[in-house]
Homo-oligomer: A and B are copies of this chain.
């Protein structure tokens, strides 16, 4: 269960309000790389873990609670960038066309739908979706998902940092970037505590997978090429269970594949047998690209 205190995890200040930056910050709230995603992702992963994984469950839930606080920090940053201070944007200023444009030229919904507030959407105004969340029930797979989430999250935060010159915003982002560093490291460390997770899922009996294709790089080039001798076409594999090899060509099964027709679906694109059928089929022959199509029609 959850508790909350009416203070921020870390101070958020804005020296110079910037409505455009308020739009960009939304990516870190409701975007694919944002904090709503990781907060919920870590929770759902935790709730799937059985009792013997208590340490990991704790790790996930506590990090989730922290991420909730990051959403709050970013929402505060958005309102501060949108509303400004009374000194800087007085009523008169707001009524000028320029101010109006700065308010709505960005993410219009921050003004129209939310009255100059943060929203559960990304920097293009696309609503957050549960489709961003990865929680597979397999801890190793989930930890890779978390490394990836923190990697793209930290990349996003550094791009926001590159963009802004506001000292307050740079300080907040420096904090969030630091937390992403920590979280990348903690998920990598958690992966290392697992015996031997690769390939995920490790519990699947590997002798049941096709032994001819499980360590072979298959080239999809149009014409066959010699083995380029890359680290992924020769040498030992990272999971320690095989040797990379190289196939210059996809094997193929040699057959054109086509499903059977299904009479109940009205899939037939031509009109079916009628008294005037013979007349119709005369035209059809002139146009129809092959005999086989005609044959199909008449067989019904």
User: Are B296 and A52 within 8 A (Cβ)?
Assistant: yes
User: Are B130 and A120 within 8 A (Cβ)?
Assistant: yes
- Among A41-76, those with CB < 8 Å from B are 43-44, 47-59, 61-66, 68-69, 71-72, 75-76
Q: A268: nearest residue on chain B (CB-CB)? A: B203
**Given A158-B204, A185-B239, A203-B271: A7 and B2 interface contact (C-beta under 8 Å):** no
**Given A1-B7, A112-B159: A131 and B131 interface contact (C-beta under 8 Å):** yes
- Oligomeric state, in number of copies? 6
User: Are B178 and A65 within 8 A (Cβ)?
Assistant: no
Our pick among B3, B33, B288 for the contact of A3 (Cβ within 8 Å) is: B3
Contact with B along A6-44 (1 / 0, CB 8 A): 111111100000001001100100111100100010011
User: Which B residues are in CB contact (< 8 Å) with A95?
Assistant: 264
Q: A27: nearest residue on chain B (CB-CB)? A: B112
User: Which B residues are in CB contact (< 8 Å) with A177?
Assistant: 204, 208-210, 214
When chains A and B are docked, how far (Å) is the Cα of A293 from the Cα of B231?
14
**A227 part of interface (Cβ distance < 8 Å):** no
User: Are B48 and A40 within 8 A (Cβ)?
Assistant: no
User: How many residues on chain A are close to B (CB under 8 Å)?
Assistant: 206
Q: A249: nearest residue on chain B (CB-CB)? A: B3
**Given A127-B130, A152-B136, A200-B151: A216 and B182 interface contact (C-beta under 8 Å):** yes
**A275 part of interface (Cβ distance < 8 Å):** no
**A169 part of interface (Cβ distance < 8 Å):** no
**A167 part of interface (Cβ distance < 8 Å):** no
Please give me the 8 A-B residue pairs with the lowest Cβ-Cβ distance, nearest first: A115-B137, A124-B125, A52-B296, A120-B130, A127-B130, A79-B259, A48-B117, A151-B200
User: Are A82 and B266 within 8 A (Cβ)?
Assistant: no
User: Are A1 and B259 within 8 A (Cβ)?
Assistant: no
User: Which B residues are in CB contact (< 8 Å) with A98?
Assistant: none
When chains A and B are docked, how far (Å) is the Cα of A254 from the Cα of B66?
16
- Among A104-139, those with CB < 8 Å from B are 104-105, 107-109, 111-139
User: Which B residues are in CB contact (< 8 Å) with A197?
Assistant: 269-271
Contact with B along A196-210 (1 / 0, CB 8 A): 111111111110111
User: Which B residues are in CB contact (< 8 Å) with A76?
Assistant: 47, 257, 259
* 30 A-B pairs with C-beta separation under 8 A: A4-B220, A20-B101, A20-B104, A32-B134, A53-B258, A55-B290, A56-B289, A68-B68, A91-B264, A108-B123, A113-B152, A115-B137, A123-B125, A126-B126, A136-B151, A136-B152, A144-B148, A161-B208, A162-B264, A171-B210, A174-B210, A178-B211, A186-B217, A189-B231, A190-B231, A194-B287, A195-B283, A196-B271, A202-B269, A203-B300
